Chain A
Amino acid sequence: DQQVKQNSPSLSVQEGRISILNCDYTNSMFDYFLWYKKYPAEGPTFLISISSIKDKNEDGRFTVFLNKSAKHLSLHIVPSQPGDSAVYFCAASGLTGNTPLVFGKGTRLSVIA
């Protein structure tokens, strides 16, 4: 029973264009959402997060949008760069503090020069 779903296993985008990665969740108790980026043979690197009291959070080229009623979030990367090519994981947790993260299966982003 997957509580966090990333339905697109892969995505290809041209350099300079926008990359949009999507994530859906089923557990209404999730209150905090995070995106991680992972290169092969490395650990996940934290990118950006959002709490359920917000619907948008922006950090440089990365913006996360949250639609709580639809239980959907998305990560926008603009402009996309070849170095953004990696696997992106969506993760969720409750807001009780320091709780385990529930991860999606990831989306492999390829940014083509």
Chain B
Amino acid sequence: NAGVMQNPRHLVRRRGQEARLRCSPMKGHSHVYWYRQLPEEGLKFMVYLQKENIIDESGMPKERFSAEFPKEGPSILRIQQVVRGDSAAYFCASSPLGQGSSYEQYFGPGTRLTVT
């Protein structure tokens, strides 16, 4: 029973390049969340998606960041024109569908983005 998968685990980008982070939820889960953790901080919510829908993107910067969860394939968090301040650990979590389901979110191992 595979857990939440994220790749790559480590990503190095130069300033101005694009970063693409991928997340495959647990089997049977159709809700995906992206969180960012800066050094010595807790995780901060960025965006919540269901298949083909963005439900809540209130935590995501308006510029340069976008997310999608297509009908087929993993969820993608895309950061365009990266800057040094984007260096962080990015975690994806998934949870089951529907009211009354478990409220727990299950996290992937994270992608550590370093911008040089």
Question: A residues touching B (Cβ–Cβ < 8 Å)?
Answer: 4, 6, 32, 34, 36, 41-46, 49, 89, 91, 93, 95, 97-106
Contacts and interface: CB of A to CB of B under 8 A. Distances in A.
A99 B103 CA distance: 8
Contact of A42 (B31, B106, B110): B110
A100 B104 contact: no
Contacts of A46: 104-107
B41 to A, nearest CB: 6
List 6 A-B pairs, minimum CB-CB distance, nearest first.
A43-B107, A103-B42, A100-B45, A105-B42, A97-B99, A103-B43
Given A42-B109, A43-B109, A44-B91, 14 more contacts: A43-B108, A49-B103, A49-B104, A97-B103, A98-B103, A99-B48, A100-B59, A101-B35, A101-B93, A101-B105, A103-B43, A103-B44, A104-B42, A105-B41
B54 to A, nearest CB: 13
A101 B42 CA distance: 11
B18 interface: no
